[in-house]
Amino acid sequence: MSAGTGRRIASMWFPRLPSDRVLRATPLEGPFALTLREGNTERIHCLNPAAEAAGLARGMGLADARAFCPALMTDPARPDREARFLEVLRRWAMRYCPWVGTDGADGLVLDVTGSAHLMGGEEAMLDDMATRAARAGLTLRAGLADTRGAAWALAHHARGATARAAPGETAQALAPLPVTALRLDPAEVAGLERLGLRTVGALEAAARAPLARRFGPGLLVRLDQAMGRQGEAVSPAGEAPHYATRLTLPEPIGLEADVMEGTRRLLERLCEKLDHQETGARTLCLTLRRVDRDSRQVELRLAAPMRDPVRILPLFRRGLEGVDAGYGIDQMRLEATLVEPLPARQLSPRATGGDRARVEDLITRIGTRIGLENVQRFRPADSHIPERAFQVVPAAFAGPEAGMEVGAEAAAHSANRAGAGAWAAPRPRPLRLFPPEPIAGHGPRPPAPLRWRRMSLTPVRVTGPERIAPEWWFDLPGWRRGLRDYWMVDTREGRRLWLFHTPQDPAWFVEGEFA
């Protein structure tokens, strides 16, 4: 591809994208920087003009930066949010052309061939980019040329906020720029400067064969891409899949059976999309538009990601029972507002997932009545303290490791967990655990007989002691007495109690009861 094909490429570079993103939400006066941990050192990731004027630069250690500028204000960098913000800018840039892709972590590339005249010409389009970016609080440098490499070079190394190379004048526009404008590795740039080739024009005039032998083919590829002698694609980012289906009815409906039938058809089409993307719906929203243009919505929150219409359809019935159809419903729309990855799994004769599916459906049905957050289960926690060895979490958001699986699948998964030490105890733990209840007793062995809850019990077998030390890094009020020696006591009356003794501050307590 040559430079005379009429193709025009624009490059948009946001040199302070991370800091601009933060300062747009919380404006600050004075030096400001975002920091990112590299190894064991916090370094400057991005900074505003005031921080640059104070002598700071990217890559500088945070301790050195504070020594140079004690008034520096900092925040931790969030690369994930920066990537989402760049995606927002990519969609905004589609106002100039439909062919927009990302260029690194802080840039965009646009194929504006045939669309610049809609903005009043190329110069007017570049001015509009700069004006809108400044109005939004963003630092922008833009370049426009016949090739992607040339547009990138002008955006990053030309003077001024915007730069343009006229059609067919790529070589003249790039000639005075440094060789770093060709997107070369630092080692290649250093090698060229040692040879006295500091500008793109000097490199273009040099003999190609010695350069290829010394630096390899990559150097000449970058040069040819910038000059238009070798093509370079502009690949726009794909749009995120939209999980929604719509059904327009020729005649209004109002019966619950008819609405359920329409929901079934919508579910089948939606689940086909979900299956194609290997995702499952966690939240579904069914919108019913009435003849009077009013709408009713039925939201269904699922206990686990699903894409099986046969399982999902009955879960809508309770929500549809109380819907007022008015004079009739003429349009239905179903959207998966929250989706999660749900890759295909190999099924085996021993673990088909049927029991687990029934549990998930039960949680969903109960959750539609009282809220999914109120359906809770126990989850193991990494602590040897009995009362801290578990957490109470919503069952729908705890995942399989919280005990979602049952049957053969549960046995296999539990075996795997046991190998990893999850919720494993060296001694049996009681089924019921309650706050410690004091009982009368003396000495290091359980009292005989013992009196608990107005009952006189006679121990017939005692097992222990199991000594548990407190977690000194937490201030636990119940463990301020220090060490605990736990005993399992079987009584003649049939009670199996879990007692402990505190040797540092002698006292006896009952904390649990076995089944």
pLDDT digits (tens, 9 = 90+) for 389-399: 888 888 876 65
Is residue 37 predicted with pLDDT exceeding 70? Answer: yes
Q: Cite the DSSP H helix spans in 94-239.
A: 122-135, 148-157, 170-174, 186-194, 200-205, 208-215, 217-227
CB contact set of 358 (below 8 Å; sequence gap of 6+): none
- Across the chain, mean pLDDT equals 87
- What letter represents residue 318's amino acid? R
Separation CA 219–CA 185 (nearest Å): 9
pLDDT at 235: 78
Q: What is the pLDDT averaged over residues 44-51?
A: 93
Q: Find the DSSP H helices in 371-426.
A: 407-420
Q: What percent of the chain has pLDDT over 90?
A: 63
Does residue 407 register a pLDDT over 90?
Answer: no
Give the CA distances from residue 485 to residues 415, 437, 446, 448, 512, in Å, rounded to whole numbers and listed in that order: 29, 15, 10, 17, 14
Q: Give the model's pLDDT for residue 150.
A: 94
Is residue 426 scored above 80 in pLDDT? Answer: no
> Among 66-80, 227-241, 248-262, 461-475, where is mean pLDDT lowest?
227-241
Q: What is the mean pLDDT of residues 318-341?
A: 91
* Cβ contact 61:45 at 8 Å: no
pLDDT score recorded for residue 459? 94
The three-class DSSP label of residue 435 is: strand
Query: Cα separation of 429 and 463, whole Å?
Result: 12
Res 198 pLDDT > 50: yes
Cβ–Cβ < 8 Å for 102, 6: no
Q: Is 349 left (phi over 0), alpha (psi -120 to 50) or beta?
A: alpha
**pLDDT confidence of residue 2:** 40
For the segment 129-151, what is each residue's pLDDT rounded down to a tens digit? 999 999 999 999 999 999 999 99
Q: What is the mean pLDDT of residues 181-188?
A: 92
H/E segment holding residue 85: helix 79-93
Going through 77-188 in order, the beta strands assigned E by DSSP cover 100-102, 107-111, 141-145, 162-164
For residue 503, whether the previous peptide bond is cis, meaning omega lies within 30 degrees of 0, is: no
Q: Look at residue 419 and tell me whether its pLDDT is greater than 80.
A: no
Please write the tens of the pLDDT for every residue from 214-262. Answer: 999 999 999 999 999 988 888 777 677 889 999 999 999 999 999 999 9
Q: What pLDDT is recorded for position 380?
A: 82
In contact, 498 and 431? CB cutoff 8 Å: no
pLDDT digits (tens, 9 = 90+) for 296-319: 999 999 988 999 999 999 989 888
Band of pLDDT at residue 369, cut at 50, 70 and 90: confident
Percent share of the chain, pLDDT over 70: 91
Q: How confident is the model at residue 362 (pLDDT cuts 50, 70, 90)?
A: confident
Lowest mean pLDDT among 109-113, 377-381, 440-444, 504-508: 377-381
pLDDT at position 359 is 82
pLDDT for the residue 421 = 45
Please report which confidence band the pLDDT of residue 350 belongs to, taking 50, 70 and 90 as the band edges. low
Task: Using pLDDT thresholds of 50, 70 and 90, give the confidence band for residue 385.
Answer: confident
Residue 259: partners with Cβ closer than 8 Å, 6 or more residues away: 253, 288, 320, 323, 325, 329, 332
Tell me what pLDDT residue 452 has. 94
Whether omega for the bond prior to residue 465 falls within 30 degrees of 0, making it cis, is yes
Question: Residue 460: which residues within 8 A CB-CB, separation 6 or more?
Answer: 490, 491, 492
Tell me the backbone φ, ψ of residue 310, rounded to 5 degrees: -65, -35
Mean pLDDT, range 370-376, rounded to an integer:
80
What is the model's pLDDT at position 249? 94
CATH number of 246-344: 3.30.1490.100
400 and 412 in contact (C-beta within 8 Å)? no
425, pLDDT greater than 90: no
The pLDDT of residue 241 is 84
pLDDT grade for 349, boundaries at 50, 70 and 90 = low
Instruction: Tell the CATH superfamily of the 1-30+71-240 domain.
Output: Reverse transcriptase/Diguanylate cyclase domain (3.30.70.270)
